[in-house]
Structure 1
């Protein structure tokens, strides 16, 4: 079959000039001439006075810069098209990998040329080097995310070398942006409440400071003059004072009343600071086109997924109908790329593809078919291929909860449904022994719902599994559960949200929810949820790719895995498949020359004469290459242990991502990018990078508890 890749061929149109237009050439010539005329020392530039935008009057900047411009010389496109693309380049051969690679310069030049159009377009906002978004106020597609954010549709573009040709990869993307609105409204949405003329609490001030750091605003009292927020002062407009020539010692509120005839409605709110300037919040409007680079909430993430999730055919149509236009790839003679002799084909490239047979999923005694075109299957009436055993179950529930449905009777019913579902899917547990299941209760309003003392209580007589049934009002307890469970005491935990588990509690119960929970539990405790039948694995191939992001302890890591495999299985692995993540294209050779020998050395030291077949696969996740089938048919399926649906990333790379996510949970107080408190000490003083690292080291301690070190606790 054929499929369309999200790439468009780049080539020189017939009759187009091979040099930029005359105006561009004259400007470049003047720059080079002036550079050559200067002595090789300094170039001085005195900036004129700049009038302040808030309370401090005029500012004068004068700074001396050293500038040196050198002409590199001409680039030949044949170096890219003939040498690099056709395989004549030696930059990946031993001894040449660190040498000059002219292809990188040419690719960068092409990217600069193709970026220039959307960069000059007032209707688009850029994010980084290769991402461009059409502003919602200029006809762009967006959706409200809540909390002062909106999801905006955009496009990623990057010039890529391919075999025999140069391609421009284009993909439709979505990112969170600050909404253009009055600042008071934005703050109200961020906190989820109406803003009154009262000062923000210190914790709120710190959260808001992280939310608005370096955000561009326009100033109402200066006819929408732009300003960048530095931080939020501890003082409000009544408390903050300064001395000026016109009025002497004066407060911010009085200054704006006298200078601009502006009366402040929220004078008790803290003021913004930008350099030495103080600006009242209510006079600011969030400027459009600003990407939010922090972490959005769980609900906002769900809204983002609903906005961004589309079928491949729709994405392909958006790219060709809207993406090319947004990026300025119309091939008009007035366009920047055309003036540089560059044209982008308006049709996606077509590449050959093959259809893999849809696999079947093997459970304990039966198989189930994967739905064609959907990559999912049904767990109903199936028992796990190998069920784990829960010898002792500890359930943690809460009292004095605000949810009226969260009652002792209902939590008891959920525990019963959990155990019934265990029996349905083949997880062994002693249903008749009352001591096999124990319930502990914690008062929601007591001691800040601290759970670590409970973990310490069971540190010697550990349960096989701790099931925590959380009411919605304390669903942020996740980090406080995982930290002592994984690092301090070594108890495997699973968290269930009451509002989801209790759906259908008055009838058959929500066994589908519990079955999904038990997919995680079974994998963590040594079970096997499902496998692929041997006949469905015949298409697997053996070969290897390259890589490089050096892992210094790779030899020790590989030896540890071999020892663990032999301990659990009783024999050595005959074939080893290694998935290597986090490798850039320029580092492929380094993997073969530096990392593969470490793996071979660990293999040799593990047992003399032991030489299993090694397949080293480099996993590239964060790329934007997509393939769109020309006709709907079967597709390949990558099943993951904790789901009944295929995933777009091979499971080992996905599992590694989950392990890293769990690590971020342990360091949540530092990793939270939405708050200044993440890098402030208890005294409110900004910490240095070393102090932050030392605090992270203390939180991490000795790492994962030894009792969980060899199970998939992060699933």
Structure 2
């Protein structure tokens, strides 16, 4: 990581507020003492549950406070606790007793849980004893924070910040919040937003301490996590499966979905974890019941009784729809315990970690967006309500937190001029422009093409006529389509791959040769299962550029957006930066420069069997910086560093990504090799910055040298982050900050080279700036030149007529990974596709490779 080289000065000054709250430290010489914690039960089994761990440590503090000199703890819920100043001794062993309500072993318990042994008994309280061992581990001086704020590099900075964050987390845990990393969520229905499918968005807060150029600050932001919709289990299942009633539920799916969820019972108000479901319905599932005699003893012989009869006859609980459906099992594998579904409700604040569907995501975005003023009010209220200053651990360090937003000086950079057809130049206004009465810069001519219609609702003939007319207005000449192919309605019941195959049979039979372009009308607007097989067939098997669409309403704006994509895919250019031709881009116009965008997309959360997809785009046709080629590969699941940038083969060749992009640059740039490479890397955290330099940059240099080059190009490496919690607000006025706003002081890192930029104007909700970190700058940009280059790279995105929130090369890499990831629906791979074990451990089995793009589309912007 390089240090900051200076501050930018260009642009119009603007007064801003940031959601950072100044932290004062009156006792900077205090030292945190870290202690290792080991908790085990009476039978020496380690306790892994964070919730139970916190209860045990709380009880330990209540019981043994005097032996610990009344020292307060900050416990991380796992293996460490921290104190301000040392404990009297370096090593302790305590026995902690917790009262645990439980049901004695027996058949149906007092709580009405049915187990397959004999007796019934009332709930009782059992004391459980745990052994807690505490031993000294390390000292963490609070002074390392103030040293870092003065610009010194200190090893212990992150450790000290982590202790402060653990104190905040402990506060939230004591209030009964759900903790997700540095965010916390209260059980309050006012913060819940139903997004469908049994899933609810839960609004909470992110809070973390940040060392900044303006001093230590608390970064407070609104945060959202997904939880299972609390309430009756049957309501959850109906919503999750979109079922009309209990009888319509697929119970095999339900069993898989419900496993490990926590429930509360209506009749006894106890909490359990679901371990499975009964094989038979409630009125057929038998268990042995030992009947109590008048003298209080039990019959020797148990009688078999159904779960339904037990609850209705022995417990006098009326059951309605549970009669014909399976029971919930909360027992152990060899000792099931059954509960009728209608007596069970899902406990609140249980995280839902699967990927959201497109509809759920759209619903969440729509319902959870907040205007800048509303977001500011919600954060201000949280700062007042949570009384961080009252925390005894923070108080003992002399830490106090201001309640006012940090005032920040920002600058609004001037948008670059753009050039379109007929030599017209114009300046975008607040990050936007339109193509009304404008023609594209370099139009394509589409002569041999066809329309393929999978939708029964869309009139393909009318659509193609409107597209041709709109194209003429934009300067794109489109001939009449060679053919309009409607899907045979009998094929609609087939699977997506077969439907695509049959449509291609029709194309091959009707067209005299390969078309230049295929327009595909899909039946569903979002997540059509035809999309992946169709793209694979066109781009991999036949090398035909294709555009998919599903128009709800055919408007001029909609058709213009579609035409911008088509023109880019077929080699046209919609708009150029005015400084690209003739080239007047500082530090790039005189020296062959390649711009690279890198993104890695991972499978759904919790799916370690799905490979990750690495996409890298590289600019070509220097001195242009608007044209890109993509190279996409699969790699080991959840691996963030790219494995295939340099891939030497046994025959001496390099089959890596970088070699492919370097050759393309050379062939399209008058046989000039790049002597400068600017790398934009998306999606890595601060802890991985060194890996980007040590692993990925190293591979790029090796790929360049492998092509026979001795002189290595100069590199500038920049990480772009969208996933952070700093928000910027206008100090005067309710609107979002204007497009082109940049901040490189006060809330940035005290030493490292970073800045925030809002390249686009937020039309709805609150803008989130991109956070750029410069890891290396061998090219030697001034702060103004670099910030202006990054802004201009947000205006070269060919798919739309608006600036992008993050530089276009990263947006393109993201699109390429997304689109080629659809080629193989990894979620649907069966065991016999890649061998029996491949789905349980992609890391140990060969990772399935993506089909290669056809050579006719390899160099195209197919991802647009």
Structure with the higher strand share, 1 or 2: 2
Structure 2 vs 1, CA of residues 252 and 487 (structure 1 numbering), >3 Å: closer, same or farther? Answer: farther
Alignment of 1:313-352 (within 5 A): 313-321=373-381, 323-325=382-384, 328-331=386-389, 333=390, 337-338=394-395, 341-352=398-409
For the Cα contact (< 8 Å) 1:3–1:350, is it kept in 2? yes
* Partner of residue 119 from structure 1, selected from 162, 167, 173: 173
Tell me, yes or no, if structure 1 residue 414 matches structure 2 residue 470: no
Separation in 2, partners of 1:393, 1:250: 71
SS in 2 for 1:577: strand
Alignment of 1:103-252 (within 5 A): 103-122=157-176, 125-137=177-189, 140-163=190-213, 165-196=215-246, 198=247, 200-201=249-250, 205-206=252-253, 208-209=254-255, 211-222=257-268, 224-246=269-291, 248-252=303-307
Separation in 2, partners of 1:643, 1:212: 43
Alignment of 1:332-481 (within 5 A): 333=390, 337-338=394-395, 341-365=398-422, 366-372=424-430, 375-398=431-454, 401=456, 403=457, 406=458, 410-431=459-480, 435=482, 437-443=483-489, 445-448=492-495, 450-454=498-502, 457=505, 461-472=513-524, 475-481=528-534
C-alpha deviations, 1:350-383, integer Å up to 9, x for none? 23321101333322232444233xx222122222
For the Cα contact (< 8 Å) 2:24–2:400, is it kept in 1? yes
C-alpha deviations, 1:527-569, integer Å up to 9, x for none? 2222222199979789999x99643432432222111122234
For the Cα contact (< 8 Å) 1:272–1:280, is it kept in 2? yes
C-alpha deviations, 1:282-310, integer Å up to 9, x for none? 22222222332222232222221122333
Separation in 2, partners of 1:645, 1:344: 39
Separation in 1, partners of 2:186, 2:92: 42
* Partner of residue 494 from structure 1, selected from 547, 567, 578: 547
SS in 1 for 2:414: coil
Alignment of 1:701-712 (within 5 A): 702-712=851-861
SS in 1 for 2:137: coil
Aligned twin of 2:704: 603
Q: CA RMSD in A?
A: 4.3
For the Cα contact (< 8 Å) 2:32–2:140, is it kept in 1? no
For the Cα contact (< 8 Å) 1:384–1:425, is it kept in 2? yes
For the Cα contact (< 8 Å) 1:180–1:286, is it kept in 2? yes
Alignment of 1:250-289 (within 5 A): 250-266=305-321, 267-274=323-330, 275=332, 276-289=336-349
Instruction: Report the CA distance between 1:121 and its aligned residue.
Output: 1.7
Aligned twin of 1:627: 728
Instruction: Report the CA distance between 1:384 and its aligned residue.
Output: 2.0
Aligned twin of 1:714: 863
For the Cα contact (< 8 Å) 1:397–1:441, is it kept in 2? yes
SS in 1 for 2:201: strand
SS in 2 for 1:616: strand
Structure 2 vs 1, CA of residues 701 and 73 (structure 1 numbering), >3 Å: closer, same or farther? Answer: closer
* Partner of residue 3 from structure 1, selected from 10, 16, 27: 16
Separation in 2, partners of 1:215, 1:27: 39
Instruction: Report the CA distance between 1:343 and its aligned residue.
Output: 1.9
* Partner of residue 565 from structure 1, selected from 665, 680, 691: 665
For the Cα contact (< 8 Å) 1:238–1:253, is it kept in 2? yes
Separation in 1, partners of 2:28, 2:98: 45
Q: Normalising by the residue count of structure 1, what TM-score does the alignment of the two structures yield?
A: 0.79
* Partner of residue 290 from structure 1, selected from 336, 350, 370: 350
Unpaired stretches in structure 2, ≥5 consecutive residues:
1-13, 34-60, 74-86, 104-108, 292-301, 599-638, 647-655, 741-758, 760-793
For the Cα contact (< 8 Å) 1:455–1:489, is it kept in 2? no
C-alpha deviations, 1:371-399, integer Å up to 9, x for none? 33xx2221222222222343432322247
Separation in 2, partners of 1:160, 1:630: 22
Instruction: Report the CA distance between 1:456 and its aligned residue.
Output: 5.2
SS in 2 for 1:394: strand
Instruction: Report the CA distance between 1:649 and its aligned residue.
Output: 1.9
Alignment of 1:516-595 (within 5 A): 516-534=561-579, 550-555=641-646, 556-572=656-672, 573=674, 575-595=676-696
Tell me, yes or no, if structure 1 residue 87 matches structure 2 residue 151: yes
Separation in 2, partners of 1:386, 1:210: 54
Separation in 2, partners of 1:695, 1:525: 40
Separation in 1, partners of 2:256, 2:20: 38
Unpaired stretches in structure 1, ≥5 consecutive residues:
91-100, 504-508, 671-677
Structure with the higher helix share, 1 or 2: 1
Aligned twin of 2:560: 515
